[in-house]
Structure 1
Amino acid sequence: MRFWLLFFVLCFSFRYAGAVTFRASIDDSQWEMESSQFICRLQQEIPSYGVAAFEHQAGEAVHFTLTPTQRQQVEGQAKLVAEASPWQPGIDPQLLGVVRAVPGTGVIEVPAELAKNMLAALYRGMTPTFNTDQWYGTPELLKVGISAANFQSAYIDYLNCISGLLPVNYRQVARTAVLFPSGQTALSDATRERLALIATYVKADNSVQTIYVDGHSDNLGRRLLNRDLSKKRAEDVARYLIQQGVPEERIVTRYHGERYPVVPNTSAENRARNRRVTIRLEREEAPVR
């Protein structure tokens, strides 16, 4: 099986030997690093073609994007192969996978597992290369390579960056609902863990201006008692956020009793979903993180 895979890759490489090729030379190969608690971005400019970038957002896995300066350079699928760099004679190419360009843009997005394989190949000094026979919609063969020159030192900076990422990003904490047993207000261990993550993010992102904490109940029992129950739940959540370091002046606490169920109170399962406190973050307009 390994023999036939190697045979296929070698034949594939010979086919693309005369293709139009874009790749930074050893002298021109530069890696730029953007670092913050929210995102780590490691990118390389490919002369006359575009930008290759690894992005690792807080709370998510790394992914890779190849963005051309001109649209529609690539349509359809491309084979991703780890090829030997100029200083690695005799090393066989390795097929990593097949990817597709986003229709109408020429942008190739590589999912997490393949992106990790690309990083590993670069660290070994190999050149991840996208191969396609649809350059500008013509039968012209195209190769776009990511140079491994100067990568290892940049990779150390990348590792340092991801070690300092927050455990979550804004999208993951902007809307949260925590649930309560019937008639109870105590915070469960799972709720405390979730609130601690929210607090960690809010303390790091100064653009978060307001945290809305809304208490709710199901429809069992008297309406006034349900309103008081929802009030106590919201207050306990807000108090815990404050204990975790969230500025009190940013928190707006509200309570609604049984007035706004997310599902009809027609079953035990539905009532369990309605016994909740929702936490909603609102922030100033800011660049996407």
Structure 2
Amino acid sequence: MATSIKYQTPFEKAQWLFSGDPFGCEINHRVQSFGTLGLIANPGEALTLSLQADWLSLDNTQSQAFVVPPSWQAQTQQPIATTSLHWLGSQALAQHNTNAFLEALEQGSIWQVNIATPESSSYQISSSPISTQTVANQFRICRQQLLPKPFRYLRRLELQFATSSSLLSAAHEQDLYAMYRYIQADPTIAEVLIDGHADASGDHLANLVLSKARADEVMSRLIELGVPAQMIQTRHHGNRAPVASNLDTAGRKLNRRVSIRLVKSATPSALGASK
């Protein structure tokens, strides 16, 4: 087997860069002549290890990534931790056992990626373990301040309710708190649209009243959390807009719901800016 071509930025040129806000945190490290190693934290997701190549593109290929001690710390370069990177084009990502790679930065260890291509080429990509502790600390602080959930999760929530009930569950409370945090952080959120529904069990008028109670309960909780009341619009529909059959238990469960939608504007709203 041919010897791997090795890539590592000389220590005197090595940099670790941090960027972050409540919507995401990232560390980047440029590997000279190859690409960029990174560590990414997004709301509600596992920590992601990333390798972005400048000139290599692979599909449905796995590469092994390791944490290894620097040469001056150990006689042998036995891996401290490992994970598999999955390639899609010029980027390879991993989300398993990635916390060890953050810990490696604090301990001055090396990230190493071994790449074998279908054409039998072999590459070894290594980080430069210099000035890593500062960005690791910035990254940890940033992760603590991340929003609980991303917009793609919160943009349309469906909260399901027990039969004849408008009480909020613990899971509802978590989702509503995550929504409040997102609205607080993103000034482009212009409206919160709440629609209450019921299944077809019982009297039509009673279902209409129950759907209103559910919508009002959600609205009240969002206002208690700190969402401005003038941002919120509520409607109630009784059993007139089912999303599933009312002829079975599973369908009725899906129909006992409150839908919440976040609406963005092209420019930051005055309400958002005032929060």
TM-score normalised per structure 2: 0.86
Deviations 1:123-179 (A, max 9, x none): 332222111232xx5333211112221111211111121122222222232222222
1:27 and 2:12 equivalent?
A: yes
Structure-2 change in CA distance of 1:244 and 1:34 (3 Å)? same
| Match 2:94 to one of 80, 91, 110 | 110
| Match 2:212 to one of 216, 225, 231 | 231
- C-alpha separation in 2, matches of 1:73 and 1:271: 47
- SS of the aligned residue for 1:27 comes to helix
Q: Percent identity?
A: 26
- C-alpha separation in 1, matches of 2:67 and 2:161: 52
1:222 and 2:206 equivalent?
A: no
1:275 and 2:260 equivalent?
A: no
Contact 2:105 2:136 in 1 (8 A): no
Give structure 2 stretches of 5+ with no counterpart.
268-275
* CA positional deviation for 1:95: 6.8
Matches within 5 A, 1:226-265: 226-265=207-246
Amino acid at match of 1:33: F
Matches within 5 A, 1:17-56: 18-56=3-41
Q: Which residue of 1 aligns with 2:42?
A: 57
Q: Which residue of 1 aligns with 2:54?
A: 69
TM-score normalised per structure 1: 0.82
Structure-2 change in CA distance of 1:34 and 1:89 (3 Å)? same
Contact 1:64 1:111 in 2 (8 A): yes
* CA positional deviation for 1:246: 0.7
* CA positional deviation for 1:42: 0.8
- C-alpha separation in 2, matches of 1:275 and 1:255: 12
Q: Which residue of 2 aligns with 1:93?
A: 78
- C-alpha separation in 2, matches of 1:240 and 1:263: 27
1:123 and 2:106 equivalent?
A: yes
* CA positional deviation for 1:283: 2.1
* CA positional deviation for 1:245: 0.9
- SS of the aligned residue for 2:111 comes to strand
* CA positional deviation for 1:73: 6.5
- C-alpha separation in 1, matches of 2:116 and 2:161: 57
- C-alpha separation in 1, matches of 2:172 and 2:116: 52
Q: Which residue of 2 aligns with 1:6?
A: none
Contact 1:74 1:132 in 2 (8 A): no
Query: More strand per residue: 1 or 2?
Result: 2
- C-alpha separation in 2, matches of 1:94 and 1:271: 53
Give structure 1 stretches of 5+ with no counterpart.
1-14
- C-alpha separation in 1, matches of 2:126 and 2:266: 36
Aligned length: 267
Amino acid at match of 1:169: P
- SS of the aligned residue for 1:278 comes to strand
Contact 1:80 1:130 in 2 (8 A): yes
* CA positional deviation for 1:27: 1.1
- C-alpha separation in 2, matches of 1:212 and 1:46: 47
Of 79-88 and 168-177, the range deviating more from structure 2 = 79-88
Deviations 1:78-134 (A, max 9, x none): 23233342433514321744635424x132111141x22222333332222111232
- C-alpha separation in 1, matches of 2:225 and 2:237: 25
* CA positional deviation for 1:265: 0.6
Contact 1:102 1:109 in 2 (8 A): yes
* CA positional deviation for 1:285: 6.4
